[in-house]
Amino acid sequence: MTAYRSFRRSFDSIPDIFALTAEVFASEQIDPALLPSVDLTLEELFTNMVKYSASSAAVRIDLAKVPGGVEVTLTDYDVEPFDVTQAPDADIDLPIEQRKPGGLGLHLIRRLVDCVHYEYSPESRESRITFRKTQAGASASDRGTVAGSANAHD
């Protein structure tokens, strides 16, 4: 089963996005331990779309239950291409004097979900980002390491 909804391009939509994920997790009996990582990844990708695109179109979010977890797709309309999977990691070893707020969102999602795919259609000017979170793709800390960025580029 797939659930989808469109959300106004505003930070104010974030609580409604979380309401959708909570509703789907409950109705589809998806492991609630996966929900914080799914919410965080959705928030980071959605706020990126809000901040960096001039489009006024709503963003569509689809959620589908998959074995052991969930697959989520965000579709952004009338936009320029921006492949989130190619964004560089943040340098988390900098001393605090050199660290600046921001730049951590895409760095974090690589470590939280099993995989992230990006597609762009030049004809329709649509960006589509799909990620998957399952019990099998435990977060890096569950495996005792934080070096888990490669799977985000699958």
Partner 1 sequence: MLTIDFGPDGNVVIAGRLDAAQCPAAQAFLDQVQGTVTLDCSRLEYISSAGLGVLLKTQKRLMGSAGKLRLSGVNRHLQDIFVYSGFDKIFEIEPSP
Within its chain, how far is the Cα of 48 from the centroid? 10
Please, what is the end-to-end C-alpha distance for the chain in angstroms?
24
Q: How far is the CB of 94 from partner 1 (least distance, A)?
A: 8
Q: Does 99 bind partner 1 (CB under 8 A)?
A: yes
The Cα–Cα gap between 93 and 91 comes to 6
Q: Which of 3, 20, 58, 108 binds partner 1 (CB under 8 A)?
A: 108
Restricting to residues 45-64, which ones interact with partner 1 according to CB under 8 A?
A: 47
Looking at this protein, which amino acid is placed at residue 36? Answer: P
Q: Does 111 bind partner 1 (CB under 8 A)?
A: yes
Per-residue contact string for residues 123-142; x = within reach of partner 1 by CB under 8 A: ----------------xxx-
Q: How far is the CB of 121 from partner 1 (least distance, A)?
A: 27
Alpha helices per DSSP H over 33-104: 35-52
CA distances from 30 to 3, 16, 49, 89, 91 (A): 13, 19, 26, 30, 34
Residues engaged in binding partner 1 (CB under 8 A) = 11-12, 14-15, 18, 36-37, 39-40, 43-44, 47, 90, 92-97, 99-105, 107-108, 111-112, 139-141, 146
